[in-house]
Amino acid sequence: MSPRANDAQRTADAVARHSYGKLVAFLAAQTRDVAAAEDALSEAFAAALATWPQSGCPSNPEAWLMTVARRRLIDGARHRRSGETVAAQLQILAGEPEAVAAPEIPDHRLALMFACTHPAIEEGIRAPLMLQVVLGLDAKSIASAFLTSPAAMSKRLVRAKEKIRQAGISFNIPEREELPSRLDAVLDAIYAAFAEGWSDPGGTDVARRDLTEEVIYLARLMTELLPQSPEVLGLLALMLHADARRSARRDASCEYVPFTEQDIARWDASMIAEAETLLRRACAMGSIGRYQLEGALQSAHVDRRRTGRANWAEVVQLYDALIALADSPVMVVNRALAIAELHGAIAALQSMQALTADTRLAEYQPYWAARAELLAKTGAYDEARDAYGMAIGLERDPAVRNFLLQRQSALPN
């Protein structure tokens, strides 16, 4: 590949990582057709990779892509529509791009995320729609976050976009007083995106690392936008607590280190202190929610840094509260691992018994890894070996896969 082609690829990749959501936001706000906006932007990127190696990268690649994408939309409107409808559509596209972010929402991506909470959009698809349209995640990653198959998630997203197009659902940004009532799906999307970035323990995947930093930035903006929302504060605290342990998740040889074996001296003290301050602010507001409880869970884990020992009893109590609030199989799996520390592996496996019939967990790697670990502790080595095999097959990260292979190979015959 020539130097110009390399430069074109790097520039296109950088714009895709940092500006994809903003560009789709401009286009979708004008056309009210998310699928068409995405298609046009995809064609613009393809045109860039064909053109920039010959002509050189433009000084403003975002503006170049926006111009080409809008031309694609104009061409598409001319071919698909006729009469007054196409005339109105072309007039909109011919004008200057509308500003997507309202004055109250100082970021285009965050503004479009709130726009995706329009009451006419099915509640359960709002967060996945944000993840794909605004943050650029693929259907496979989104499906994993919501414990469903990639094919099913793809179909749901396609149907949602088609409904938006057919119903002419406006991508208007809600007024400030409407934001609290539309908050839940936005928080769910931010957390799901963070979890996707968190799935790269060593921070070696640039796209995932950028995603983690991006959603922490968006969560910080949310605390400025809605400073009296305890759940917003709780979500940022949760993410900061988790990210504070990032460097401890790999050793000097870049091998994966499980949480219970991490060097607590490598946890980021300033990030932990900020998270604890946020949780205290949230707690003072007197309204408990999911993200505050999850943040409190992370805080309970941090006790190990202060006292030198893990606080498993409090961890189990917090999981009990979370499961009572929102019964999730993921919470049951995590609770089982904490129960194992308190009462042993047999009690932990018994607590997970109801999950064996839950088809959502068939491709959920942490379930199989947890089950394998617990079975191994009870001496059920053949079952543990099979469970490790499932976890290894589902794991994307080479270091984690190697860790699981070592655990599997260490099982007695």
Summarised one tens digit per residue, pLDDT across range 221-258 is 999 989 999 999 999 999 999 999 998 999 989 899 99
Q: What is the residue range of 109's domain?
A: 104-229
Q: In a 3-state reduction of DSSP, which class is residue 170? A: coil
Q: In a 3-state reduction of DSSP, which class is residue 201? A: coil
Q: Are 11 and 85 within one domain?
A: yes
Which of 229, 260, 293 is the C-terminal boundary of a domain?
229
Q: CA-to-CA distance for 324 and 275, rounded, in angstroms?
A: 24
* Residue 137 per-residue DSSP state: -
Which of 229, 249, 273 is the C-terminal boundary of a domain?
229
Q: Per the domain annotation, does 25 fall within a domain?
A: yes
As a whole number, mean pLDDT of residues 341-349 equals 96
Q: Per the domain annotation, does 301 fall within a domain?
A: no
Q: CA-to-CA distance for 51 and 61, rounded, in angstroms?
A: 12
Q: Per the domain annotation, does 109 fall within a domain?
A: yes
Share of the chain above pLDDT 70, in %: 88
Q: Are 131 and 222 within one domain?
A: yes
Summarised one tens digit per residue, pLDDT across range 130-165 is 998 888 788 888 998 898 999 999 999 999 888 887
Number of separate domains in the chain: 2
Radius of gyration for the alpha carbons in the chain, expressed in angstroms and rounded: 23
Q: Per the domain annotation, does 304 fall within a domain?
A: no
Q: Measuring CA to CA, which residue among 316, 376, 369 is closest to residue 345? A: 376
User: In the predicted model, what is the mean pLDDT of the chain?
Assistant: 86
Q: What pTM was estimated for this model as a whole? A: 0.81
Residues near 298 by beta carbon (within 8 Å), at least 6 away in sequence? 237, 238, 241, 242, 275
Which of 175, 208, 229 is the C-terminal boundary of a domain?
229
* Cα angle for residues 84, 90, 93 (degrees, 5° grid): 145
Residue-level pLDDT at 1: 67
Q: Are 225 and 109 within one domain?
A: yes
Q: Measuring CA to CA, which residue among 367, 376, 377, 291 is closest to residue 330? A: 367
Q: In b/e form, how buried is each residue of 188-217, taking b as 16+ CB within 10 angstroms?
A: bbbbbbbbbbbbbbbbebeebbebbebbbe
Give the torsion through C-alpha atoms of 154, 157, 158, 161, to 10 deg.
Answer: -160
Q: Are 83 and 117 within one domain?
A: no
Q: Are 108 and 89 within one domain?
A: no
Q: Measuring CA to CA, which residue among 312, 294, 248, 299 is closest to residue 273? A: 299
Q: Per the domain annotation, does 294 fall within a domain?
A: no
Q: Per the domain annotation, does 287 fall within a domain?
A: no
Q: CA-to-CA distance for 228 and 233, rounded, in angstroms?
A: 8
Q: Are 161 and 58 within one domain?
A: no
Q: Are 12 and 63 within one domain?
A: yes
